[in-house]
Every structure is written in C-alpha cells, then in structure tokens.
Chains A and B, each alone.
Chain A
Amino acid sequence: MATIPGLVLSNKQKSPDAVALRYKQLGIWNTYTWNDYYNEVSVLVDAYNKSLSVSKGTVVAVYGNNVPKLIFSIAAVQTLGGIVALIHPESTEGELKTILNNSNAEILIAEDQQQVDTFLKVESECNVKKIVYLDGRGMATYDNSKLNSYDNLVSEAKNESIDSMISGLSDNEVAFYLFDEHEDKIYKVSHEAIIKNSTKISELNKLSQNDSIVSYLPLSIPTNLLFTYITSLVCGMSFNLPESNQTIEKDLQEIGPSILYAPSFVYKHIITSISYRIESATQSNYDRYMNHYKKLMNIYEKEVSGNKSLIDSIQKVWVMLTTFAPAKNVFGLTNIKHAFVSDGVLSKVNFDFFHAIGVEIQHSFGQAISCGCISVQPDHSVSSENVGAPLSGTEIKVNENSEVLFKTDCLGENLSGEANVDNGWVNSGYVGSMDNSGNVIIDGRTEDIVTLKSGKKFSPESIENLVSCSPFIKSTVIIGENQDSNSAIVIIDPNSVNSWADRKNIRYTGYAELAAKEEVRDLIKDHIKCVNETLDDHLKVKRFVILHRTLIMTAGEVSKTMEVMRKNITTNLNDVFSAFEKNESKFTVNDIDQLTYDLKVNEI
C-alpha cells in the first residue's frame, strides 16, 4: 500500500506529463502535470520544514476551498509526516475552535482573509502557533507575528528531491483528521485505510487515468475527500478545480468531466436550473420541452420494464438530439460515465430523469468513520431506493431496532479515544433495511425518527425527500413528533419560483413577500397533495407553512452538504413548531435576525 505523497511520486514516475490538476485562474485553465505537482510539493516541503518546523506528528489544520496551493500543502505536510486536519471554509468560529483545540493543531493554513479573520476571533483560545495564508489579498495591513504569506515562504524555499522522505513514510500513520459535523466528532484516518477504500471504488467502477473529475465541494467533507481527491491520486486522473463557487456551472461545461461526485443537492440544483430556464423560455420552447419530457419519461419506463419498441428507440434519439443532449451539454454532463451521489438517495422522479437522459446516477453511503464510503450502487442500477451493496471487505447488517451496523477494514478512529466499535461492528447512526439482493436501504438518521401520537414511527427524511423533489421547493422539514399528523415547513427555491412568478405576472419585492403569495401557496399545496397520494394515511402531510427565508448554513440549520439539521432548526424556529402544536392558523415568528414575521398555516 502507498501513502498520499507516495501516490504523487508514483504518478510522477509513471506519467510525468499527464494532467494532474487543472485550475481556472484569470479566465484561463492552468494545467499542472504530475511532474509540476511533484515539484510544487517539493518546494513546499522545504518551506514548511524550515519556516514552520512541520515534522512527524505535527497537526496542521487546512482551512479553505480547493485551490492548488491548498492541494499541494496537503501532500507537503504529509511528506513531512504531519497530519492534516481539514476544516470547511464556511466553518464558524465555534466549529473552528472545536476542531483546532480537539485536534491540537499547531499550524493553520488558511485560504484567504475571510478564514484568517474568523481565526483571529478565536486566536486567544487556541494553541495555533503559526498561520499561513494562501491569498494575500486584503492582508497588507495585518500586523500579527503569527501570520506568514505562502508566497513568501515559497520564494525562500528550494526544490530538493523528496523521494527518500516519501519512501520513509509508513502507510499506517495517520493522514487526516476528519470532522463529522452531524456527530460533532473528529476521526483519525490512516493513509492505508483511505487509499484502500478509494482503490475499492475505482476497481469496482473501472476508473482509470483517462477519467477526469471536478471537485464541487471543499475536501473537508469526508465523502468528497475520498471520491474526488484520493481517487484522482489513486487512478492518476485529472482533478479539476473551478474558478469560484459562482462559476461552477460554466466551468463544468468547459471541462466536461467523466465522473461527477456530489451530494444530492447539486443534482437537485441541476433539475431546478433546467426548470427555471424552461419557465422563462418562449412559449413554443416551453411546450416542446414539456412534450419531450413526457415522451422521454414514457420511453424510460418502457425501457426499464423491457418493453421498448423500435419506434420508442427512434423517438428517444429524436428527443435526446433536439432537447436533452443540448441541455446535458449546458450542465457539463455530456461525458459523464459515473455520477455518484454522496449522501443517500435522490427522489425517484429525479433519479429516473437522470437515467433517462443517460446520466448513470449511483448512490453511495458513508461517513468520516468509514473513510467516506461503505456502499455504492453498481453501474446501470435502476433502483432509486437503495444505496447499493457493501464494498469488498465491508459487511453491513441491520439490527432488531432497524439500525444499520457495519464492519469494514477501512475504519477511522475516534480522536477522543471513545470506543465506538462493538465486536467489530460500528453503529452508523442511521436506520434502514436490506433488500433481497443484499442492497442497503437507508431511511434516515436514528436520532431523527419521529413518533406520532398514535405511536407510529417513521423517518421524516423519506417524506422530506418526496416533498422536496419539486423544482419549486428547496428543502422541507417534516414535523410530527407527538402530533396527530405530519406538518411541513417548506422552503421555496427562489430561482425557480421567481421565474414561475414572472411567467404568471405575479408582482413581489423580495423573498419573504414571494413566499407569502396566495398563488405560491397554491402551487406548493398542489404538489404536496400529489405527494400525499403516494403515502400511507398516517404519513400524509396535513398542514404546511412556507418559511419567509431559506435555511442558513452559518446558523447551523443546514449541513455543509445542505442536509437539514433538525436540532438547530427546532431551536431557531421554535415558534413554528409551537404553532403546529397549538393548532394555530396564523402566528408570529421571532426570528434569529431579531425581526418578527407573520406566517400562515395552510391546511391540505
């Protein structure tokens, strides 16, 4: 087995001129070959060794978005035997402090002024001795002796061979500290474990050097780290970094990657984007799209059941050519061979749509403790419910309480030393089941399970998924604990509802006013009614509220991958919860911005 710097070295030896990294800067795609990659790392090794005294066991926190300097820093720190603690660029002071202190980080590599500012607020409470900032913009006036500019460090460093240092590394050393924001815990992960897990995925999906991958999200998200960064190193494929978060769509189109790896919200966003573009298209284009969409889905149904006729095939070629192939190209999906979903499942409608247009969605499931993945759907899977079968070397079972337990040879270790393994079995914190073919079905988090007054239990996430599948809805929070029936907090998607409202000539000034419009209420109501038809009686959503704002990540209401964080929502929007409890039809919310909003409960 290898180490992460070892993979850089072996890729450099195997194919020095192959593309390792692409990064768009100043409007131009810059390319680093494996040779360049290795050279950048060697210079950094010298810089970090001399100026920051990084040595074996030094914990270096890396805090930022994916930029080449940050990517090279990871390999450089690990070459020196250091441990990289990854921190999300949008982490708040509290989270930053927790990770820095629990991991005992001595050095912080921060992307830019935003991250440095966040750190300086908690500086006195942490043991960080030195900070390196990658982007010097806005930093000229800072006067703190701990601050070092990346460019300065590099300009003083020499490019010396690091081959012997790399070969001296042992693969069972700790490579990363990964933070699990749901559990609020940090896990130690060794080079061996995470590389082994990535190898399993690439072998299963036959990924090769010729593939390319775009990293949508920061590497601090454990699943993203495994599937994008580590896998690109393991396969020697190109790792592409978009220019900024706002340009991702355009950058994807230009790269046309063969592998897409993203959480479900990204896929949902693609569908929503198609929908709001269609809503604002001319009437004839709108009609054609709707017509072709119906045809495509019809043909797909027949395809799945094996009844596709020759005429269907011809029709499919026609609708693809005229409508969906151009749409795929706009979103950079033309070359996609594998489209992995990191967090659970897409709703059936969305899953089927992607498959119908030839984007093979593959659900996967994993967390920080399991190095990012324990199960992944095989290619050409047509079930939208499961998250696939366990990877090799991994076993999954469901206990009598429906809790999903797993055993894997790529296990992370809790940093606090707290034992989380019982006889080799780890509780994933999720409930679910196994289907007949050995695939895992995940229902939701164990802690989220709702018990209705009638005593019936269910996982709210499955209903939220169904309600949120409308392009007009960004997210949904189902409330049912100790109540007669389910209620929902609906958060509308500003983009698609905007376009829809423009089309309907509805006037409004801002999000809150749009959300309160009678017409929008009816739109959502109709959708929930449709969803209710597919649900058992006790699960039907009887009431809903359209929230006056979207959920806020920095207030902890959604996770970094846009999953609903129920605990914080309950605290922040307590008034909504109590209104449902008291059966009020109108109520006032005292929101976290200190303002009050009047909301209306809608019955279905």
Chain B
Amino acid sequence: MTDILKVENVTLTFGGVKAITDISFNVREGEICAVIGPNGAGKSSMLNVINGVYLPQIGTVTYDGVERRTINPRDAAIAGMARTFQNIALFQGMTVLENIMTGRNLFMKSSWLEQGLNIGRARKEEKENRLAVEKVIKFLQIESIRKTPVSKLPYGLQKRVELGRALVAEPKILLLDEPMAGMNLEEKADMSCFILEINKEQGITTVMIEHDMGVVMDISDHVVVLDYGKKIGDGTPSEVMSNQDVIDAYLGVSH
C-alpha cells in the first residue's frame, strides 16, 4: 500500500512556544490512523498543519504525491481532504439537511445569483447534491432529524451531523478531531461503526484524534503517539501499547 500522506520533520511554533517539534509519520492509503497523546501534546495542531490551517516553520507535508509546505484549506478540500472539529463547528440555526448541504459547496458551479433565484444550473445542481446529501443522511441514520435545527440536537447527534458534512465532500482522506468526545457508550459504539464502515466499505483513509483508548485500540490500524509536541510512538495498536515511552507518558513516571 502506498502512503497517501507523509509528514516530514514538521516543526510548528507559536511565538516562543513549540507546539510540534520535528515530527514525521506516514499514513498509508486505506488505513485508520489514530493520533493520540495527553492534553496539549499537539494533536489538533498536527491536524491543522495537515489541512493547511497552520503553516509549519520547518518541514513538509506530502499529500497524494505532491510535496508542499503550505496549502490553502479550500485547496486542501478540493484535493480530497475533509475534516471535523473538536468543538463542533456547525451552523446552529440551520437544519441538519442544510448543514450537510454546505459540505457540497465544492461541487456547485452556479453563481450566487442563480442559487438565490433557483434558476438555471442551480436547480439541477441542487437536485444532484441533495441526492448525495440524502445518501449520507441514510448512511448515518439521521432521517428523522433531517429538518431539525442543529441547535436543538443533543451533542452526540451534532457530532454525527458534522461527520456527515465532511463525508458529502467525497473525501479521499478524512480528518476527525475527537469524534467521540463527550459521548456515552452507546453513541461511541454507533460512531465507531460509522467510522469503520466509512473506512472499510467506502475505502476512505481516516486520520483520527481520539482520547478513548478502548476505541483507538479497537478500530485503528496504525497509532501515532505525541507527547509535548514530540512523537514518542508509532506503530500498530499492540506495538504502541507495549512501548515504554507511551506507558510512561500516559501513566506518569517519577523523575
């Protein structure tokens, strides 16, 4: 299997604070890669570097064979990267359907005027894109809340809607920032099933930041462990679990 994503010697600093120090890892095509680590380890920053929100001072990211130091988030999306956020970033006043529809923005070529008046290309596009959105709604089993404003939904369902919005962009690689944070057991089980199905049946490579070790060990193929901005482990779940540095980082060690 080829590497779809290569992160090479990336260092990211905010003023004097080093968020990420010289990190390299590869994500193979079709795998579920989990990035784990204690709070402040630099996980979300890593994701932001990958899809171009942050510009690293040193190092490169090679995605789909193209090496680069910087990419505009919109270009990243066009190149097939979709993501969700740690703190849900949905349009709270809009319905589930409308929110997910925004994920199809990239596929719409009609002008805002055509869209506003619902004429010309906009009509046809609306139909095609709506079909794609409905397929995702069915997949995520949220038919019953299709027309509900997002602000009225419980947290777990909002996370699902966010995943839906990322999925309709038909990504090659999906970046999930803590998809199961704040969920109960049942919601976590549902979310794990969705992630597995997305990966195994639709073949979408997934990079996921997650705190729940049970979930990480169960569903991921590859785990990268960060601590204080440095990589301390990289391998299969079982390899990482037996890595002394990782154990020390998680359980603490006396100095």
Instruction: Give the distance in Å from the alpha carbon of A373 to the alpha carbon of B141 in the complex.
Output: 35
CB-based contact A26/B138 at 8 Å: yes
Are B143 and A247 touching (Cβ within 8 A)? yes
B135 on interface, CB distance cutoff 8 Å: yes
Interface residues of A, Cβ cutoff 8 Å to B: 25-28, 137-138, 140-141, 243-244, 246-247, 250
Q: How many angstroms between the C-alpha atoms of A28 and B141 in the bound complex?
A: 15
**Cβ distance A273 to chain B, nearest Cβ, rounded Å:** 14
Residue pair B144, A247 in contact (C-beta under 8 Å): yes
State the CA gap A138–B198 with chains docked (Å): 10
| Min CB gap B219→A, angstroms | 14
Q: How far is the CB of B127 from chain A (nearest CB, A)?
A: 10
Contacts of A138 in B (CB 8 A): 193, 197, 201
CB-based nearest A residue for B142: A246
- Asked if residues B143 and A137 are in contact (CB atoms below 8 Å), the reply is no
Residue among B130, B143, B193, B200 with max Cβ neighbours from chain A (10 Å): B143
B146 at the interface (CB under 8 A from A): yes
Interface string of B89-112 (1 = CB under 8 A from A): 000000001000000000000000
A244 contacts across to B, CB distance below 8 A: 141, 143-144
Q: Total A-B pairs in contact (CB under 8 Å)?
A: 31
B3 within 8 A of A: no
Q: Which 5 A-B pairs have the closest CB atoms?
A: A246-B144, A26-B134, A247-B144, A27-B134, A140-B201
Interface of A is mostly: loop
Q: Known: A138-B201, A140-B201. Contact between A26 and B144, CB under 8 A?
A: no
Residue on A nearest B201 in the bound complex, by CB:
A140
With a CB–CB cut-off of 8 A, which chain A residues contact B131? 26
Q: Across the interface, do B143 and A243 meet the contact criterion of CB distance under 8 Å?
A: yes
The complex places the Cα of A140 from the Cα of B143 at a distance, in Å, of: 23
The answer to whether the Cβ of B137 comes within 8 Å of any Cβ in the partner chain is: yes
Contact B144 A250, beta carbon cutoff 8 Å: yes
Interface contact A27-B143, CB-CB below 8 Å: yes
Contact string against A for B residues 128-162, beta-carbon threshold 8 Å, 1 for contact and 0 otherwise? 00110011011101011010000000000000000
Would you mind naming 11 contact pairs between A and B with Cβ atoms under 8 Å apart? A25-B138, A26-B131, A26-B134, A26-B135, A27-B143, A27-B146, A137-B139, A141-B200, A243-B143, A244-B143, A246-B143
How far apart are the CA atoms of A138 and B201 in the complex, in Å? Answer: 7
Residue of A nearest to B196 (CB): A138
Known: A27-B130, A27-B146, A137-B197. 12 other contacts (CB 8 A): A25-B138, A26-B135, A27-B137, A28-B134, A137-B201, A140-B200, A141-B200, A244-B141, A244-B143, A246-B144, A247-B144, A250-B144
Q: How many residues of B contact A (CB 8 A)?
A: 16
B55-102 interface with A by 8 A CB criterion: 97
| CA–CA, A414 and B130, complex, Å | 51
Contact with A along B210-249 (1 / 0, CB 8 A): 0000000000000000000000000000000000000000
Cβ contacts under 8 Å, A27 to chain B: 97, 130, 134, 137, 143, 146
Query: What is the bound-complex CA distance between A247 and B138, given in angstroms?
Result: 12
Contacts of A141 in B (CB 8 A): 200
- What secondary structure prevails in chain B residues at the interface with A? helix
Query: Mask for B166-193, Cβ within 8 A of A = 1, else 0?
Result: 0000000000000000000000000001
B residues within 8 A CB of A246?
143-144
| Cα A576 to Cα B37 with chains together (Å) | 48
For B137, list chain A residues within 8 Å (CB).
26-27
Cα distance A26–B138 in the bound complex, in angstroms = 7
How far apart sit A479 and B242, CA to CA, in the bound complex (Å)? 57
Q: How far is the CB of B117 from chain A (nearest CB, A)?
A: 23
Smallest CB gap from A26: residue in B? B134
Report chain A residues within 8 Å CB of B130.
Answer: 27
Give Cα A137–Cα B140 distance, bound, in whole angstroms: 12
Give the CA-CA distance A226 to B35 in the complex, in Å. Answer: 56
Cα A49 to Cα B134 with chains together (Å):
34
Residue of B nearest to A247 (CB): B144
Closest chain B CB from A67 CB (angstroms): 12
Q: Which residues of A contact B143 (CB under 8 A)?
A: 27, 243-244, 246-247
Smallest CB separation, A389 vs chain B (Å) = 40
Distance in angstroms from A495 CB to nearest chain B CB is: 14
A247 vs B197: C-alpha distance when bound (angstroms): 23
CB distance from A253 to the nearest CB of B (A): 12
Task: For residue B19, give the distance in angstroms from its CB to the closest CB of chain A.
Answer: 38
CA distance A26 to B127 in the complex (A): 12
Q: Which A residues are CB-close (under 8 A) to B138?
A: 25-26
Q: How far is the CA of A140 from the CA of B141 in the complex (A)?
A: 19
Chain A residues within 8 Å of B141, by CB = 244
**How far, in whole Å, are A140 and B137 apart by their CA atoms in the complex?**
20
Closest Cβ of chain B to A342, distance in Å, is 24
Complex-state Cα separation, A141 to B193, whole angstroms? 13
In the complex, which residues of chain A have a beta carbon less than 8 angstroms from the beta carbon of B200? 140-141
Provide the residues of chain B in CB contact with A137, threshold 8 Å.
139, 197, 201
Write out the residue numbers on chain A whose beta carbons fall within 8 Å of the beta carbon of B193: 138
Give A196 Cβ to nearest chain B Cβ, in Å: 38
- Which residue of A is nearest B147, CB measured? A250
Chain B residues near A250 (CB, 8 Å)? Answer: 144
- For residue B45, give the distance in angstroms from its CB to the closest CB of chain A: 35
Question: Residue on A with the closest CB to B138?
Answer: A26
Complex Cα distance, B144 from A28, in Å, reads: 13
- Assembly CA distance A243 to B134 (angstroms): 12
Give the one of B131, B138, B144, B200 with max A CB within 10 A: B144
List A contacts of B135 (CB < 8 A).
26
Q: How far is the CB of B30 from chain A (nearest CB, A)?
A: 13
A140 to B199, CA, bound (A): 12
Could you say which residues of chain B place their CB within 8 Å of the CB of A140?
A: 200-201
Nearest-neighbour CB distance to chain B for A112, whole angstroms, equals 12
Which of A25, A27, A138 has the most chain B CB atoms inside 10 A of its CB? A27
Q: Which residue in chain B gives the minimum CB-CB distance to A243?
A: B143
